[in-house]
Amino acid sequence: MAITQTFGGGIHPHETGGGKAVTCLLPVVTAAAPARVTIALSQHAGAPAVCCVKVGDKVDLGQVIGQAQGAVSAPVHASVSGTVIALTPCVVASGKSVPAVVIENDFEDRWADTVRPCENADALTPAQIVEIARNAGLVGLGGAAFPTAVKLDVSKLDPKPDTLVVNGSECEPYLTSDHRLMLENAAQIVDGVLLAKKATGVSRAVIGVEDNKPDAVAALQSAAKDGVEVVALPAKYPQGFEKMLIFALAGRRVPNGALPSAAQCVTMNVATCAALSAAVREGKPLIERIVTVSGRVGTPCNLRVRIGTSLLDVIEQADGLAAGVRKLIVGGPMMGNAIPSLNVPITKNFGGFVALGEEGLSGEESACIRCGRCVRACPMGLMPSKIDALVRRNNYDGAIAAGAMNCMECGSCTYCCPAKRELTQSCRVAKAIARLKK
């Protein structure tokens, strides 16, 4: 099924060096397990997990090493079997220093006895599915890392959601981990969608995939059952943002500042759905994920990587950095973070790594020529040039009044600005200052 309903604004980013075209054709390869993993205790939205192991402890694969605390949190699990050798802060890709557990791998891959397949998965109640998602440490794998159990638990919502919107758009340039997952694990994704549908009690479940991935659309359509819909969406950045998806797939607008529940929708990413199926059917906690390694690396690829593996180890498995690298980005080039070092661990929300050369540098900024491109590109209907001008004059209240808090930080305005102005950054600054003032 193809539809044309789409949001206003948006852009069509081009990709140098093949971008998605290189890695979307290559099957996912399981990366060799590293000699040690550094597992961050805060790799999800909400309160950090509390460490429940000590140096010298033997741990099994899938064993809880950090327990969730508070209503919005998630446990973390050992991604190798071995010995805890340190409890120490580590710097993650966002630049934050967070507590972490370092485990030396014994390469026995000895599963914890809590990891057991479920024999009666089809008989589980909604509350039991939510509980499994919670215990498995599932979080949104599309980047936000919001605890999945919190999303699936709709018991306190009024009105109840009626639609599950599943994101298979993967609209960021270079990143193809979801694309490969849709090709290789379509049945598992559909199973996860049906489990999420049961957990939330919605009457409709729909997966949206950009129409530049016809093979993924076909794979999901042939796996779809029990009323799960698969819809091809016009390829346009940022189609994968939840507000855009909800508008395209459910025809509803999420009010500014509100959550998808305000439009009676629950949103999930395809990779999170696959992880939910693995947690329910196989009892597997979230201990690995697919990571796209792309741009100027020896062998661009999609790797299935244990959580806690050093990015340095991951890059080695992609045959290292190639010549001419000027910028290292975790995530995609539109939304990702530039990082100064490869010494960061893979976390649950680590979707990809892109090494860019000169093409990744923004160039010298010049004065705004009032061309209006940023305004036409903004999917939120903002005037990025105006917000930028206000922030540069330190008029943060004015920037907030101009709608800066509604900025989704999609990067479309910065991308299309011929004057190379850091418009998205100005919105980020305004939002950060507004939060500090609260």
Chain residues binding ligand SF4 by CB under 6 A are 368-374, 377-380, 382, 384-385, 407-413, 417-419, 421, 423-424, 427
Collapse the DSSP code of 110 into the 3-class scheme (helix H, G, I; strand E, B; otherwise coil) and give the result. coil
CA distance 377 to 123: 47
CA distance 294 to 314: 11
Name the minimum Å distance from CB 399 to ligand SF4: 11
Q: Supply the DSSP symbol for 214.
A: H
Answer whether 267's CB lies under 8 Å from 260's CB: yes
* Nearest to ligand SF4 of 124, 433 (CB atom): 433
* Nearest to ligand SF4 of 96, 420 (CB atom): 420
Q: Which residues contact 118 (CB under 8 A, 6 or more apart)?
A: 124, 132, 280, 281, 282, 283
* Nearest to ligand SF4 of 230, 402 (CB atom): 402
Crossing angle for the helix pair 177-184 and 186-200, to the nearest 10 degrees: 100
* Nearest to ligand SF4 of 79, 385 (CB atom): 385
Tokens of 383: 């005037």
* Nearest to ligand SF4 of 211, 409 (CB atom): 409
Name the minimum Å distance from CB 142 to ligand SF4: 17
Name the minimum Å distance from CB 263 to ligand SF4: 18
Name the minimum Å distance from CB 35 to ligand SF4: 40
Number of residues that this document lists for the chain = 438
Name the minimum Å distance from CB 140 to ligand SF4: 19
- Cα-to-chain-centroid distance, residue 271: 9
* Nearest to ligand SF4 of 154, 407 (CB atom): 407
Name the minimum Å distance from CB 397 to ligand SF4: 17
Strand order in the sheet with 204-210: 229-233, 204-210, 163-167, 265-269
* Nearest to ligand SF4 of 206, 378 (CB atom): 378
Identity of the amino acid at 183 = L
CA distance 115 to 372: 55
Collapse the DSSP code of 258 into the 3-class scheme (helix H, G, I; strand E, B; otherwise coil) and give the result. coil
Name the minimum Å distance from CB 386 to ligand SF4: 9
